[in-house]
Amino acid sequence: MNLNQVTLPALDMAASVAFYRGMGFRQIVDAPHYARFECPEGGATFSVHRVDEAPVNPGVVIYFESDRLDALVEELQREGFAFAQLPRDERWLWREARICDPTGNTICLYHAGENRRNPPWRVSS
């Protein structure tokens, strides 16, 4: 199996589409209730689906990795994106920044490099 698709709730489709397009994702599906995007690198896609109410504290975080995290965050800030957390080094050896989309979904932009799949504490098979 391979994870390829995640769908996020969207209260305002136009605002959500503008948010993700503004972050650099390429829109590949456009419907009144649904939009799908391709990531700039790799083959993964994700979508937003119109809902009448946002989930209450869903606890879900969507992660997008970039080798140029700090530069990307600076570029997005210049475009008007407001981050809840600017890039910082975490104890699990990832560098992370956090932002919320128009519906309140938490998005983590991060860089982990080799530590994403092979951290020092990886379980051997």
CATH fold of 5-116: 2,3-Dihydroxybiphenyl 1,2-Dioxygenase; domain 1 (3.10.180)
For 69-119, the pLDDT digits (tens) are 999 999 999 999 999 999 999 999 999 999 999 999 999 999 999 999 999
Q: What is the DSSP letter of 115?
A: G
Q: What is the per-residue pLDDT for 125?
A: 76
Nearest to 90 by CA among 68, 112, 64, 61: 112
Residue that wins the pLDDT comparison between 55 and 17? 17
Q: Where do the structural domains in the chain lie, given as residue ranges?
A: 5-116
For 18-68, the pLDDT digits (tens) are 999 999 999 999 999 999 999 998 889 999 999 999 888 778 899 999 999
Question: H/E element holding 71?
Answer: helix 69-78
Q: What's the pTM? A: 0.91
